[in-house]
Structure 1
Amino acid sequence: MSALSQLELNGCRKLLKLLPADDLLTLKDTVTNRMIAVESSREAIEAIITYSQNSEELLKRKKVHRDIIFKYLTIEGVVVPPNSEKQQLVKRTLELWSSGNNSVNDNNPGHSDKSGDGLADLTELGKQFCQWYFHIFNSQNPMADQPAKEWGPQHFWKDVRLLILSYTGEQQKEEFHGAELVCQRLLALVEEERLVFCPNLAHPGMQCFSTPHGLVLVAVAGTIHRDTTCLGIFEQVFGLIRAPMDGNSWKIKSLHLKIKGQISREKLPEVTYDVNEMLQLLM
């Protein structure tokens, strides 16, 4: 019988939900030697998990295709090279489940900061912010197979500014002002265009700086996906300022989003801006 940890159980359930119904039933028959009858996909998933020896064995099954694991990691916000082989994806998934990081707090990280100004460890602050932001952002995608988290203008300053530069063919530039408009434009990327943004949270995929005036700059690079297709890369710079009247949480003051259609299959996306360039982008 299965001896999976709770993290592995949760992860396996989410991953198996991505399988087509026919593949799911075939996998159930293989794992259970056709000894278990089921009446729904949910029952099939539970049978597969119960009769799998371990999570690695399950991930290596033929019906758990490479594209399914890639899509699962994408939904979980894990950046992997688009040309990764199934063996590499299995290894990365097992690392995710063993690390305990596949459960992201839905609260703005600033709300949980009880000591000082939260700037003692800028890298950790930036990582927590990105995990929080992209988790709720990507959950708005109707294909994400997870309940949509609370997304709205409350996460932005009222005078927030968004600039989007797109290099997918000919260059396009869009600019938006105000929490409502910025929130709606960003939402359209994931809800209507069905994009998923996967940040690379390891240096140099993410960098953070602070200014003497209380502005924190978080820059992050990553890949953009639709379903199992990697469409390109992005580089995003956030300007964060604390909101003393709102629990002293960090709110987004400005955003700069650059999207490129080109994909490097040799390495993960990296931040290309230095701190002065970031400040200029957000002015």
Structure 2
Amino acid sequence: MTEPILLAVDDGIALITLNRPERLNALSYGLIDRLMAALDRIEGDAGVRAVVLTGAGERAFSAGADIHEFSDSVEQGAAVAVRDFVRRGQTMTARLEAFKKPVIAAVNGIAFGGGCEIIEAVHLAVASDRALFAKPEIKLGMPPTFGGTQRLPRLAGRKRGLELLLTGDPFSPEHARDIGLVNRVVPHDQLLQAARELAGRIIRHSSGSVGSTITAVTRGLNMPIAEGLLVESEQFAALVGSRDLAEGLAAWKERRPAKYVGA
């Protein structure tokens, strides 16, 4: 059988590829489980400092959930569908969102449904000028279930988010950029290069400070600002006494580039 997830590491950047191109990289239960396993594998690997996530083939990042598989769960009732489908998908997007190393989506084609929800969850995203986005769950008679009802309105604003969720209409990579779903749009043949370049601009910094910044932002967005400021303070305090913070301060005082471990 074809491996549903491909993982390659080069120069501190892990490239994870959703590898079901014949099914437009649909998110089967097996693919989601393998993606989670890949994240587990690289989380503790000091040689991996950033992740680029993309789809195999020229047509799709991911067309969303594997509808045939999901339909079988629905036929078994709400308890099974929630356990096997909803919780699995929500756990995946929450894991990506909270991952301590930066995760950058390289959106190479269609990003519909659950595929779009992955992009909503990851930290950064670069889209090909051939990408196409949609929230088509409404056409199936259901809302998004991998976090789309919560993250998209937070990114785009309530009214713009609801328009996309309630119409199911596709939208361009330029619109995705304008509403904050992706950071930039690049020519298709420059996509992975652009994603890796963005990762490189991040991993030149201290891995501790990168992880703490991600944690503070991710947790703080779902809190009142007073509580978020406490998280920010906690993340800073955890770095006091670290070699990287000492090196960063010393480098600034000495007017030289900082030399971080692994950078």
Same fold by TM-score greater than 0.5: no
Q: Could you say which structure has the larger radius of gyration?
A: 1
Interval containing the TM-score (normalised by the shorter chain): under 0.3
Q: What TM-score, normalized to structure 1?
A: 0.25
Query: Which structure features the higher share of strand residues?
Result: 1
Q: What TM-score, normalized to structure 2?
A: 0.27
